[in-house]
């Protein structure tokens, strides 16, 4: 699978809340760092991140633009409520080795009708 296709598949799985499908796209020792929380290190923590997030909210990723820079793919996205963000993926051997996500957490909670927790995530 080409690197861009990995991210396109990631979006498909994300929009189905398909945690198993998402996890298949990551290396075992991958890092997923959403800037609103501490990095998730390794597949077990990444799975837990998705379980928590899909358990709390209905999330939809609408692709605005995909920038292909070889091993690095940048995904600009929005959701139906108007939230916008950006994901940066480092792809090695057709798997995500590193992901970094940028979005406004407060706007996310408000758009989902969620209360703002004292602590966003506690994976450890």
Q: How many other CB atoms sit within 10 Å of the CB of residue 79?
A: 19
- Residue 107's pLDDT is 74
Whole-prediction pTM? 0.88
Domain ranges in the chain are 3-112
Cα separation, 73 vs 16, in Å, equals: 21
- Residue 118's pLDDT is 67
Cα separation, 63 vs 56, in Å, equals: 22
Class of domain 3-112: alpha beta
Percent of the chain residues topping a pLDDT of 90? 73
Cα separation, 79 vs 59, in Å, equals: 7
CA angle 78, 19, 28 (to 5 degrees): 105
- pLDDT tens-place string over residues 72-123: 999 999 999 888 999 999 999 999 999 999 987 777 777 777 776 666 555 5
Cα separation, 118 vs 66, in Å, equals: 34
Cα separation, 80 vs 61, in Å, equals: 8
Phi, psi of 42 (to 5 degrees): 90, 160
DSSP letters of 77-113? EE-TTS-EEEEEEEEETTEEEEEEEEE-HHHHHHHHT
């Amino acid at each position: 699978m080409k690197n861009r296709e990995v991210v396109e598949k990631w979006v498909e799985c994300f929009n189905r809340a398909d945690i198993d499908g998402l996890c298949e796209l990551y290396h075992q020792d991958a890092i997923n760092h959403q800037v609103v929380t501490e990095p998730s290190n390794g597949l077990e923590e990444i799975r837990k991140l998705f379980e928590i997030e899909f358990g709390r909210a209905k999330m939809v990723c609408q692709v605005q633009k995909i920038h292909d820079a070889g091993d690095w793919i940048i995904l600009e996205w929005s959701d139906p409520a108007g939230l916008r963000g950006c994901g940066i993926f480092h792809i090695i051997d057709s798997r995500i080795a590193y992901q970094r996500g940028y979005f406004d957490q407060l706007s996310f909670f408000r758009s989902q009708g969620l209360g703002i927790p004292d602590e966003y995530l506690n994976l450890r």
